[in-house]
Amino acid sequence: MHSEKSTQTFERVCVVGLGYIGLPTAAFIASKGVHVTGVDVNSKFVESINQGEVPFFEPGFDVLLKRVVEEGYLVAQTEQVEADAYIVCVPTPFKEDHKVDTKFINSAVEAMAPHLRPGALVVLESTSPPGTTEDMANYILELRPDLSLDEDDENAIFVAHCPERVLPGQIMEEMENNDRVIGGLTPRGTQLAVELYGTFCTAELLQTNATTAEMAKLTENSFRDVNIAFANELSLISDRLGIDVWELIELANHHPRVNILQPGPGVGGHCIAVDPWFIVSSVPEEAKIIKMARDVNDGKPAWVIEQVKAALEGKESPTVAALGIAFKNDIDDLRESPSLNIVKTLGSENPEVDIRVVEPNVSDLPESLSAIPNLKKQELETAVHDADVVLLLVNHKEFVQMDTSLLEGKSVIDTKGIWRS
Ligand SMILES: NC(=O)c1ccc[n+]([C@@H]2O[C@H](COP(=O)([O-])OP(=O)(O)OC[C@H]3O[C@@H](n4cnc5c(N)ncnc54)[C@H](O)[C@@H]3O)[C@@H](O)[C@H]2O)c1
């Protein structure tokens, strides 16, 4: 199937930042016959994209990328160009104080400013604290005082926020079918952004203002974080009371209006463990539950480590099999992973303990672990066989399907509750 020929307002779109989010967004727009320039400061990414190769793992996406590149609708480069619309998909990490670091947005805008012309649309797609889209627009005006945000002005540009909510691994399905929240700084900004996302998104395009759109994304991830914190707190309470938290949750969830999530070793990844901080750092006085949820979830790894230490007591030259270091099941993503941090702390603080790490989704341990002498990567069966303590940290399918008779006679710490009989 060939890409459709564009008949719409946007003939040339520039997508800035070609990572997990920006590259699929660029390719989906290009597949509708819009000429897209994908821009990334990473020249290796640019090179591989122009050869039709996806620089990260995303099932099914390689076919689409190859097609739009071969047809000439998507071209990657390191420099920005003049375009009808820009979509900014650069990272938005936080700093030590949990406030957003806007250095990537700022550098993207600095490179964009000379190319901007009146009438252009600039969409910030990066997850951002309330007010960031407006700050970005003001920075553009600082760099280009000849432009304006006043819709009635002939030099007006239009600015909007449209956060992304796709799940990596399901991008081919979700990029087109997820509802989007779109908020402009002005009504025309919202309208133009709706038109732009309407080129490839077939779901509902929900219109609001920029600050509400920013908060919508942060609210979604805070909702998840708070609910996981509730489950994690229940796991501590249950341990103290000597009851099985998994049974407790299962029973409570039989109530028709109760749906408690599952506890675990903590919360990781670059979204749920990060985004709530953007609310907390914006309105610390009011965001009490959100802050406490972050603290509960961030405190869980230390509790798991105490459990392991208790299990090791009295054992001479003990061996621990640590199963899983990814931040969630069946992926290779180690960003902000509580499991990785648990293993790292256990290894570095207990040099007498021999730690065997099992992670079926990565070929080599990250440097932060491989530098620890008493820690090495091993296959599942051997690691479990040799272990005194088996520490289950991630519910990867290999662990769920494992023959549990291998666990007989071992101390088992199952942070995901997968081996309950
Ligand atoms: N990955 C996800 O699952 C996900 C989901 C929803 C929202 N988000 C948000 O989307 C944004 C992007 O996330 P991602 O996962 O795609 O990040 P990523 O790190 O995979 O990609 C970002 C890309 O931007 C490039 N970049 C940085 N500065 C640049 C600049 N000045 N000009 C051009 N390119 C530049 C980097 O080289 C990198 O390739 C973040 O705000 C993130 O929070 C991510």
Sorted by where each begins, the domain ranges of the chain are 12-203, 244-414
| Residue 175 · residue 21 · CB < 8 Å | no
Q: Where does 35-157 show beta strands of DSSP type E?
A: 35-39, 74-77, 85-88, 121-124
* Phi (first) and psi of residue 15, to 5 degrees: -105, 120
- The rounded mean pLDDT for the chain is 96
Q: What is the mean pLDDT of residues 357-366?
A: 96
Mean local confidence (pLDDT), 146-150: 98
CA-CA distance, 347 to 349, in Å (whole number)?
6
* Residue 201 is among the residues annotated as catalytic for this protein: no
Would you tell me which CATH number, out of the four given (3.40.50.620, 3.40.50.720, 3.90.79.10, 3.40.50.300), belongs to the domain 244-414?
A: 3.40.50.720
Mutational test site, ligand 1, from 40, 219, 222, max ligand atoms within 8 Å of CB: 40
Considering the candidates 32, 217, 300, 344, report the single residue annotated as catalytic. 217
Q: Is 217 a catalytic residue?
A: yes
* Residue with more model confidence, 2 or 393: 393
- Report the distance separating Cα 109 and Cα 147, nearest Å: 14
Mean pLDDT, residues 101-105: 98
CA 364 to chain centre: 22
Region 12-203: CATH code: 3.40.50.720
Q: Which residues line ligand 1 (CB under 6 A)?
A: 16-22, 39-42, 45, 89-92, 104, 107-108, 126-127, 164, 166, 168, 270-271
Catalytically annotated residue among 32, 201, 271, 300:
271
Q: In this predicted model, what pLDDT tens digit does every residue of 276-292 receive, in sequence order?
A: 999 999 999 999 999 99
Q: When comparing pLDDT for 4 and 213, which is higher?
A: 213
Distance, CA 88 to ligand 1 centroid (Å)?
9
Which DSSP symbol is given to 127? -
Predicted local distance difference test score (pLDDT) of residue 3: 59
Pocket test for ligand 1, best of 14, 18, 20, 133 (most atoms within 8 A of CB): 20
Residue nearest to atom 21 of ligand 1 (CA): 19
For residue 270, the model assigns a pLDDT of: 86
User: In the predicted model, is pLDDT for residue 1 greater than 60?
Assistant: no
- Other CB atoms within a 10 A radius of the CB of residue 134 amount to 18
Q: Which residue's CA is minimally distant from atom 32 of ligand 1?
A: 108
